[in-house]
Amino acid sequence: MIGRLNHVAIAVPDLEAACAQYRTALGANVGAPQDEPDHGVTVVFIELPNTKIELLYPLGENSPIKGFLDKNPSGGIHHVCYEVDDIIAARDHLKASGARVLGDGEPKIGAHGKPVLFLHPKDFNGTLTELEQV
């Protein structure tokens, strides 16, 4: 069911500093910040030859990553995102296997304009897991 690793997301306490570090210290191709108010984050994608890094910074009062940054003030790996070709079939299969789908259980449109869902970290070895339909 899961396919390619679409991205690894890193929550950062200072988005500009993280972008500068990837651009200069790591020589990476760093995209422009994208506000995603529906998700409560600003994201920056860093294209790698085999996947992407998604830098995350809180946007708005109720950002879902605020708690994570409070607990991890230096930032940290926040989630991984796997690609699926049918997110509804994947969701229903995972729910049937007892996994918790976060939010109202319906896919939302993510930063790539594709449907995404999140699965509770406690059901996946302490790793917040995102699915993106491609």
Ligand X SMILES: CC[C@H](C(=O)O)C(=O)SCCNC(=O)CCNC(=O)[C@H](O)C(C)(C)COP(=O)(O)OP(=O)(O)OC[C@H]1O[C@@H](n2cnc3c(N)ncnc32)[C@H](O)[C@@H]1OP(=O)(O)O
The residues annotated with a catalytic role in the active site are 130
Smallest distance from ligand X to CB 49, Å = 19
Please report, as ranges, the residues that interact with Co ion according to CB under 5 A: 9, 54, 81, 130
Q: Are 131 and 120 in contact (CB under 8 A)?
A: no
Single out the residue of 4, 17, 47, 67 in contact with ligand X (rule: CB under 6 A): 67
Q: CA of 95: how far to CAs of 9, 10, 26, in Å? A: 24, 26, 39
Single out the residue of 12, 19, 65, 69 in contact with ligand X (rule: CB under 6 A): 65
How far apart CA 41 and CA 83 sit, in angstroms, is 21
Single out the residue of 90, 94, 128, 131 in contact with ligand X (rule: CB under 6 A): 128
